[in-house]
Structure 1
Amino acid sequence: MKKLMLILVCVMSFSAILVGCGDNKEESEAISDNIGGQEEHSPSDQEDDEDTEDQESIRVIAGTVASAEFLDLLDITPVGVATTDKELPSRYDDVPRIGTPMDPNLEQIVSLAPDIYISDNNLKESIDSLLEGHQIQTLFLTNNAYEDVMNNFTELGDFFNQTEIASELVTQMENVESETLEAVEGQDAPRVLVVFGTPESFMLATDRSYAGSLVKKLGGINVTDEIEIANPGPYVPFSEETVAELNPDVILRLSHAAPEATKAAFDREFASGFWVNLDAVQEGNVYDLDSEIFGVTANVKAKEALQLMAEMLYQ
């Protein structure tokens, strides 16, 4: 059987990518003071037109898929968007690509003359370094939990004068959260193992990961809480013996890249060895998280993710 352990160096470098680098609230407030303006207006057609012109005058680049999806739902079209294999909303069909989220093309970015570049908080250090000296404001979104998605809608809605749309999106999320939590209230808490995988290796997702945060919100017990880990991050390595001893009720499998190849790797591992003796495997409580809905970080499909995970944990 393939050895399911990553060396410490891999853990540290991976955590550097996924762990947040700080809060984005103060920075976004500073941006609001410098670009576009966020003054309150009395309701009138003329002032509504001025708000729209203000919003449209802001040249924004969506540096990640998540930020592109946020802007789409807020009815904002950026001047540039991240390069990705994922299908983006149709409004981006003719929008110039600026390179991948982790390796954007500076020359392309500068050529688009953006006022603001929106990315993920996990990428703050590298993006700040890339854009240093180019007088491009930045906004970094935190995407670690369900609540972060609502906060991002609110913050972006305020910044781009799309508060009505943002408020409706937040209300929808609040309603889904309330209904879903009410449906599982009082049920026995399942012990859950979230396995984070690539075609080459597996790790365990803690409560500090997005998937782990959803398990916790739904009242599940993440079995990584029972492992003694010094300075745990979102994902930690494990031994076969540890997982066998933990023996979870439910196993969730999350793909980081190449979903089909990762699922094939999962299937091979779970078909033999200690995995087949786990209660979750024997009782058929092993679920693959749809990568279009369950990202490594939180996204605009958080409502669907919460509902689907509730069904997996409590059906």
Structure 2
Amino acid sequence: MRRIATLTLTLATSASAISVTHLAGTTELNTTPKRIIVLEFGFMDALAKLGVKPVGIAADGDAANEVLPHLKKYYGPNVPTVGNRHAPSLEKILALKPDLIIADENDHKSIYAQLNSIAPTLLFRSYRGTYQDQLDQFSIISKIVGKEAVGKTALADHSRLFSKVKATSSAKAGKIVVGVLTPNGFYVHSDRSYIGSLLDTAGRHNPTPVKDGQTQYLLSPEGLTALNPDTLIVLYNNEDQSAFDRFKGEPLVRALTAAKQNRIYTFNRDRWAKGRGIIGLEGILSDMFSSNVLSGKVQR
């Protein structure tokens, strides 16, 4: 897999001073940050795994459901929020007096200058990043917060879990296509998306290309027919069960090799599509292992 060599970290003269090269340039951090605001789930995951609690996060939904379920035990019910991930409140961020902000290229590039005027801001590719991007960012964040040893242990544990799952991968699974199903349609994830690149790294071929620069996009039943996957992974939440029932019943979907071989797998949309980071990957890899989705075995 190609790696985007945009994220580097160099130790400076003092023990706590570092220079971080990211997607918006190079940021000098003279001390270990203590008041961190993170604006995307992958960064929330990284700090949780490292045992560092941010002073604020950007998330989704109502106040009771701002934090993803797999992170609630790390953050508790009263984590401070600064608005939606896609449109955080600059006023709320300013009020929390951060000494570091970690932002996402897709959602926050347009407000980077404003964020950076509040506190030193790092810009990474997480929301539209690859599996490898998540690992690279975790490694850098662990050094920034002074938890490099903890980070190395976590990555080693992850590597062992990933190897266990990859060992179940078989050519019998053939081409694997993955996407999110909503009432509006099926949004396929390309080989450069987070989940698509994870499957690729696990040894399974994802035939879905990037389209018009987008790693995830709406795909018609005819487009899915053209890909004709041997294994199909559909991600949706419980409230969209009726949409899945309609999708699975469509003649073009029933004609797919994956459908004929009973290899259409379903998993929770939030758990997979939003589960970026080491903790999130534990859930995804657990699903992969228990379901045998990479093996090509026919479901019972």
TM-score by length of 2: 0.77
The 1:305–1:150 alpha-carbon spacing in structure 2 relative to 1, beyond 3 Å, is same
Partner of 1:293: 271
Q: Report how far residue 100 of structure 1 moved.
A: 1.0
The worse-fitting range, judged by mean Cα deviation, of 197-206 and 302-311 is 302-311
Partner of 2:12: none
Is 1:181 paired with 2:162?
no
Q: Distance in 2 between matches of 1:230 and 1:291?
A: 22
Matching residue within 11, 20, 26 for 1:28: 20
| Alignment-mate amino acid for residue 199 of structure 1 | P
Please give the per-residue CA displacement for 1:172-203, whole angstroms capped at 9, x wherever unaligned: 11212233333436x44511222333221223
**8 Å CA contact 2:42, 2:134 repeated in 1:** no
How far residue 79 of structure 1 moved from its aligned partner, in angstroms, is 1.3
- Measure the CA separation in 1 of the matches of 2:275 and 2:293: 19
Equivalent pair of 2:176/2:204 in contact (CA under 8 Å)? yes
Deviation per residue, 1:143-189 (Å, 9 max, x gap): 3233223222211111111111101111011212233333436x445
Q: Does 2:119 correspond to 1:141?
A: no
Q: 1:65 to 1:239 in 2, by over 3 A?
A: closer
Aligned counterparts of 1:262 and 1:130: Cα–Cα separation in 2: 38
Aligned residue number for residue 54 of structure 2:
78
- Contact 2:138–2:277 at 8 Å: present in 1 too? no
Match status 1:254 vs 2:235: yes
**1:190 aligned to 152, 158, 174, which one?**
174
Shifted more, 161-170 versus 294-303: the winner is 294-303
Does the C-alpha gap of structure 1 residues 156 and 190 become closer, same or farther in structure 2, counting only changes over 3 Å?
A: same
What do you get for the CA RMSD once the two structures are aligned? 2.8
Structure showing greater radius of gyration is 1
Which letter maps to 1:142? Answer: R
Cα shift at 1:65? 2.6
Q: Tell me which of 149, 156, 160 is aligned to 1:164.
A: 149
Q: Aligned partner of 2:281: which letter?
A: A
Q: Is the 8 Å Cα contact of residues 188 and 219 (structure 2) preserved in structure 1?
A: yes
Q: Is contact 1:193–1:224 with CA below 8 Å preserved after alignment?
A: yes
Contact map agreement 1:276 1:282 (CA 8 A) in 2: yes
Give the paired residue count: 267
Say which is worse superposed, 199-208 or 109-118, in terms of deviation: 199-208
Bigger helix share:
1
- What's the offset of the Cα at 1:279? 2.4
Over 3 Å counting, the alpha-carbon distance change for 1:235 and 1:149 in structure 2 is: closer
- For residues 263 and 208 of structure 1, do their structure 2 counterparts lie closer, same or farther at Cα, with a shift above 3 Å needed? farther
The one-letter amino acid of 2:122's match is: L
Percent identity at matched positions? 23
**1:120 and 1:277, CA in 2 relative to 1: closer, same or farther beyond 3 A?**
same
Look up the match of 1:280: 258
CA distance in 2, matches of 1:245, 1:117: 43
- How far did residue 138 of structure 1 move? 0.9
CA contact (8 A) 2:55 2:98 kept: yes
2:106 aligned residue? 122
Q: What letter is aligned with 2:50?
A: L
Residues 176-185 or 262-271, more deviating: 176-185
Shift in Å, 1:109: 0.8
SS at match of 1:270: helix
1:8: which partner in 2? none
**1:22–1:104 CA distance, 2 compared to 1 (3 A):** farther
Distance 1:146 1:83, change over 3 A: closer
Q: 1:190 to 1:261 in 2, by over 3 A?
A: same
Bigger mean CA offset, 263-272 vs 174-183: 174-183
**Residue 76 of structure 1: how far off its partner (Å):** 0.7
Aligned to 1:155: 140
